[in-house]
Chains A and B, each alone.
Chain A
Amino acid sequence: MDSYLVAILTVAGIYLILALALNLQFGLTGLINFGVVGFYGLGAYASGIATETFHAPFLAGLLAALIIGAIAGALVALLSLRLSGDFLAIVTLGFAETIRLVFNNEDWLTHGPSGFIIVTRPVIAGLSRTATSWMVLGVILLAALLVLLLMMRLADTPYGRVLRAVREDDLVPATLGKNIFMYRLQAFVLGSAIMAGTGSLYAHYVQTITPDNFTTPVAILVWMSVIVGGAGNMKGTVLGALAVVFIYEGTRFIGPWLTMLDAEQISALRFIIIGVALILMIRFRPEGLLPEAYQRPAEAASRITPSKG
């Protein structure tokens, strides 16, 4: 049971970092990134290839993941940031799908669907199994804490306020002389690099990665964490990620009760529950469990001045 709890917490930490990065892009800046799993997977493979194929230490792998994630984020952003929001969404989705095809097909690099094995661990070698898993959990939670503090700090600075202004209305910061494109680019690149870094942590935690680790269900869980917690609120994301992981892992236990269902059906049922919950959340409580404390300029204005006649 202990090891199961450690595993859940580790996974929760990974989802939390991904969700925080997405919250920077979507919650603060309003950029719709449906390619979360693309950056995440890219980081995982980059780090794995650095440490296994090139025998680099773990930190070099993590660094490689961050750099490659940033470059990929910049490329995707340059391609699509000038377009309107839904086109960015489509391009990011395309990026994730294409990247997954690369993982699947370039056997020489990624070993394809059979899986890429990663021996290097993010902790000192030679410890017992249990100790190692606790240490890995520690590393991931520490990373999550660092990212959380960074994001909370960022959200409170003038920089964070400009990002919010970019999200609410492109015209306002433009009239203030801010280069909106640069702000969007920076937020997108930082978020993508963090996602890729998370991929590195994940790869060295699970030790075998396959292209199937980086598919839509993961993206749905990350998006749900941000929406459930409250877009724009970093503390909300912590709550959201925990809630989502516990719902997701919790529904694992419905299996034994529903003996007439096979494993395939139970897995499908869990995804149905998650998907329906996400739709209900957006439908009935779009501001999330912990709404952002910031008052949107449009709403604030509508409360003061009545509509023109």
Chain B
Amino acid sequence: MIQMIINTLASAAIVAPAAVAFTLVFTLFRYANFAVGGFVTVGAFAAWTINVPLGCPLWVAGLGAMVVCASAFALSDRLVFRALRGRSGGTLLLVSIALSFVLENIMRFIYGAQMKGFDLPLTGPITIWDVRITRETVAVVSVSLLAILVVGAILILTPIGRALRAVADNPSLASVRGLPVPSVEVFGIAVAGAMLGLSGTLVGVDLSIDPNLNWAVTIPIIAAAIVGGLGSPIGAAAGAILIGAAEELTVAFLAPTYKGAVGFAVIALVLILRPQGLLGDKVDRK
């Protein structure tokens, strides 16, 4: 039982930063960016490149992956999505799926299909009251939690975070109130990109890194964000825990091979029961 809770937290910790990123983009631009998994994959490979061939410690690799993903995400917005603002949600969805497909294959082109792993020192698990927790799990969960708290604090406490929420709420009013809307949007995109890079690094600690990560993570990320209500980082994190738990339960009591379908089953369920998600505000949709 406790072991299941730990597994749930570990998988939620990987998904949560990316779900926060998906939520941020959704609140800013009102479209579902399916390329999030592609960027997580890019982040995982970026961290691996810094960690293994370049021989830097993993925390440097993680920061590097965040910078790489923030830049790549901002670049994708500049080159692709900015020109498509105002197009239908379906068009943007299709474009983001195509982008995700392109990113996955760029990784395949550069790194090949072989699985890769970080260069981590072997450490024994910690045992507390008969429960075994690996040091990696502890690290992954704490880093993820810290990152989400930092993003939450930026949004609530800082002027730029306040401006970001204002732009997400009503961009045309933000503009007549004198806010530099494009710069605020770029800031939001960069924060989202950094979260995707962080998810990429955390995923690499837990699983092996290969281009097929893309679809494996996209679905839980989006499911977590939708379950979380597409409104706040806390909601996204809660959604990640819920999806993680649903996956754990499926593996334990149903069929492990259908873990991949859990995300969609939960999305379908949420869409039927509560189109606005579990937490967060009802989203105005056109």
Contact = CB atoms under 8 A, between A and B. Distances in A.
Interface in B76-118: 80, 83-84, 87-91, 93-95, 97-99, 101-102, 105-106, 108-109, 112-113
Interface string B139-170: 00000000000000000000000000000000
Interface in B235-250: none
A3 interface: no
A264 B104 CA distance: 13
A268 B109 contact: yes
Contacts of B93: 32, 34, 86, 89
Interface of B: 31-32, 80, 83-84, 87-91, 93-95, 97-99, 101-102, 105-106, 108-109, 112-113, 215, 219, 222, 226, 255, 257-258, 260-261, 263-265, 267-268, 271-272, 275, 285
Contacts of B101: 216-217, 220, 271, 275
Nearest to A227: B94
Interface residues of A, number: 42
Main secondary structure of the interface of A (DSSP, over half): helix
Interface string A223-239: 10001000000000000
Given A86-B32, A94-B267, A101 B97 contact: no
Contacts, number: 122
A272 interface: yes
Identify which of A105, A220, A268 gathers the most chain B CB atoms within 10 Å of its CB: A268
Main secondary structure of the interface of B (DSSP, over half): helix
B155 to A, nearest CB: 24
A170 B214 CA distance: 35
Nearest to B226: A90
Contacts of A227: 94
Contacts of A97: 215, 219, 260-261, 264
A86 B80 contact: no
Contacts of A207: none
Interface stretch (A59-67, A77-85, A138-146, A240-248): A77-85
A272 B102 CA distance: 5
B268 A279 contact: no
Interface string A242-282: 00000000000000000000101101110110011011001
Nearest to B261: A98
A83 B275 contact: yes
B90 A89 contact: yes
A308 interface: no
Contact of A264 (B97, B112, B265, B267): B112
Contacts of B219: 94, 97
B102 A85 contact: no
Contacts of B105: 268-269, 271-272, 275
B31 A86 contact: yes
B271 A83 contact: yes
A235 to B, nearest CB: 22
A91 B271 contact: yes
Nearest to A269: B109
Given A32-B90, A282-B95, A91 B113 contact: no
